[in-house]
Structure 1
């Protein structure tokens, strides 16, 4: 995102300020830092999975915090050179602390988290409140028709 100016889009759009802020902040925060590596999967229309490679971290060294529209995963590790000084001839396995942030869409919440085989797997689900789902409106004073009813019956 370096060198990409969003100003022309900001001038010609209304109500997209949050989107442009997210793009600019993400470009600044994650520029050049790819640790720990991660995958984001879409499992279905409303289910997602974030997988982080956190080999060497124990569950008590990891912290997952979910706030409104933000998922933050942190890992705290002591520097190997300070704790095991003199025992290692070469340290090639990344063993450093990290903070990884993921911006979440509205109504996305963390369903579960699991650590196995060096992978931290976080399951996410989007739950749109019933009041926010689209409804068909009948003309001439008829009743409301729930357009999601047909999809749920299928």
Structure 2
């Protein structure tokens, strides 16, 4: 399972020109699922992300988590996180899971995130053509892959 985490001042997702979800200060999390992912991967990522100290404290040092600042979270599914560009110029998405596996993994990840911060999160819509807008704060953008726990 791969995630791209962005610290944002605000973010939103729209579908067919209609606002689906929006958040203020917090995290925009893009999530990609592959067939070898399990709910253990989703739980590990949820805990890791919720505890990342990437928000400034009163001294301007990145020392606080999204939980510490009572920040909001928007989670959006994105199969292109598993793009392979090894051959040619057209990315291959063969590693990205099909919906029968990816949807339960995405929903499990969202549930774990919500449980970890003890309140609801906002989401996109799995498989929809979404328009995501954000104001990246910093910018702070972090890539985490559950198969490469660095």
* TM-score, scaled to structure 1: 0.23
Structure with larger Rg? 1
* TM-score, scaled to structure 2: 0.23
